[in-house]
Structure 1
Amino acid sequence: MTTSLAAALGAPPTDKLTMANYLYWKAQVLPAARGAQAMGLLDGTDPAPEKTLEAEDSEKKKIRIPNPAYGVWIVRDQQLVSFLVKSISTDLLGEVLGLEHAAEIWAAIAAKFAAQVKVRVGTLTAALINTKKRDLSATDYINKKKGFASKFASAGRHVLDEELKEYLLAGLSGEYNGLVAAVNANPASTSADVCNQLLADDPQV
């Protein structure tokens, strides 16, 4: 790498991790890690290579020598560790003290806030289910549903297009039975098809 990982990551988030802003903090850290091609270090899919390699000395005896690949890996890992630690508030640093690698720190933070994320996902799911079109214009209805769906990303979950399509259909009243039947009759239909049909049929738009 011609550019160090630290430079690729850039400055840590100015809003440090607290008990109240995990999802917002995570939404800032993940793009930095992706942009620096460091997601493997973060999620553990880029594990540490062996520290040493087997070789032979001048007398053909088996010896262990430092593995250059480990040296490269540990430098990148520790740069990411520094980035993460600098982005955590003093009150929460105790949660990661003693953890040496980026993946360990990331997993510990995720575990601490797992319940909070679960509540957030549940709240957004309820919002998607309970939002009905009723007197909303097609545009407002679609924007509300898409708005809730987009917020799932901050919780580490993505709403699939098929799911969004079902959420859109579920919020329609009986007057849209024909539209619902037409969409369900076509397995290849998408959420965009539902939106386009709603916009075309709704006089309020």
Structure 2
Amino acid sequence: MDRILLCWLISSLTEPVMAHVVDFTTSRDVWCALERIFESSSQAHVQQLKYQLHTVKISATPMSEYIQSVKSIVDNLAAVANPVTDSDLVSTLLSGLSPEYNSFVTSVNTQVDPISSEELIGLMLSQEIHRGRTLPNPESTNLISPAPAVHNASRTSRFFSAPPSSSFRGHG
């Protein structure tokens, strides 16, 4: 029985991996060797993912992309049996924000009750929407409307009727 299992194990390996186990005579020896080989690469992968999680920053990406990149790393860690706690996820999300979010981070960190990652993500997306509305539009640097002053009665009709007549054109 062990011989059949040994043949099946060896036949399922790629050539580079097979080179590491070709001298073993029992399926147990092959399995233990494979475990040692892949365990070291798995540990390296876990360390790489943890490093990515601790160094991920929002930079110039939209908030939703930043959150998705963090969630992707967290999901990959969970897939290799190294789950991230919710409080660590909250800390990671906050620490990766740029300095322009310092007041937001302070307000979250000073809350009496701990915040969940789901709540934080909702607040982060709301914060981005709020910041988008309050930041000046780079295309509209002129704060004074170039349109001529119009009496209130004609202002209402301007929205519901034909465009203003050409008599205003050319007058600076």
Question: Is TM (by shorter chain) over 0.5?
Answer: yes
After TM superposition, the structure 1 = structure 2 runs for residues 99-118 of structure 1, keeping only pairs within 5 Å, are 99-101=26-28, 106-118=31-43
Amino acid at match of 1:165: V
Match in the other structure for 1:95: 21
CA shift at 1:154, angstroms? Answer: 4.6
Shift of residue 169, structure 1, vs aligned partner: 0.9
- Matches of 1:182 and 1:78 in 2, distance apart? 65
Label 1:163 to 1:78 Cα distance change in 2 as closer, same or farther (>3 A): farther
Q: Is the 8 A contact 2:64 2:125 kept in 1?
A: yes
Divergent runs of 4+, >4 A: 77-86, 104-107
Separation of aligned partners in 1, 2:91 and 2:101: 14
Distance 1:201 1:177 in 2: 12
Root-mean-square deviation (Å)? 3.2
Secondary structure of 1:134's counterpart equals coil
> Matched residues, percent identical?
25
| Paired residues for 1:47-58 under 5 Å | none
- TM-score, structure 1 length as denominator? 0.49
Count the aligned residue pairs: 127
Match of 1:144 in 2: 69
- State the partner residue of 2:124: 198
Task: For structure 2, list consecutive stretches of 5 or more residues without a partner in the other structure.
Answer: 133-172
What are the equivalent positions in structure 2 for 1:154-173 lying under 5 Å apart? 154-173=79-98
Identify the range of structure 1 (154-163 vs 192-201) with the bigger mean alpha-carbon deviation: 154-163
| Structure 1: tracts of 5 or more residues without a match | 1-74
RCO higher in 1 or 2 (8 Å CA, sep ≥ 6)? 1
Q: Which amino acid aligns with 1:109?
A: L
The CA distance in 2 between the partners of 1:91 and 1:81, in whole Å, is 17
Bigger shift: residues 79-88 or 175-184 = 79-88
CA distance in 1, matches of 2:89, 2:8: 35
The structure whose Rg is larger is 2
Amino acid in structure 1 at the alignment position of 2:50: T
Structure with the larger helix share? 2
Query: Which of the residues 60, 80, 90 maps onto 1:135?
Result: 60
Residue 172 of structure 1 deviates from its aligned partner by 1.2
Separation in 2, partners of 1:83, 1:179: 58
Task: Output the CA distance in 2 between the equivalents of 1:82 and 1:187.
Answer: 58
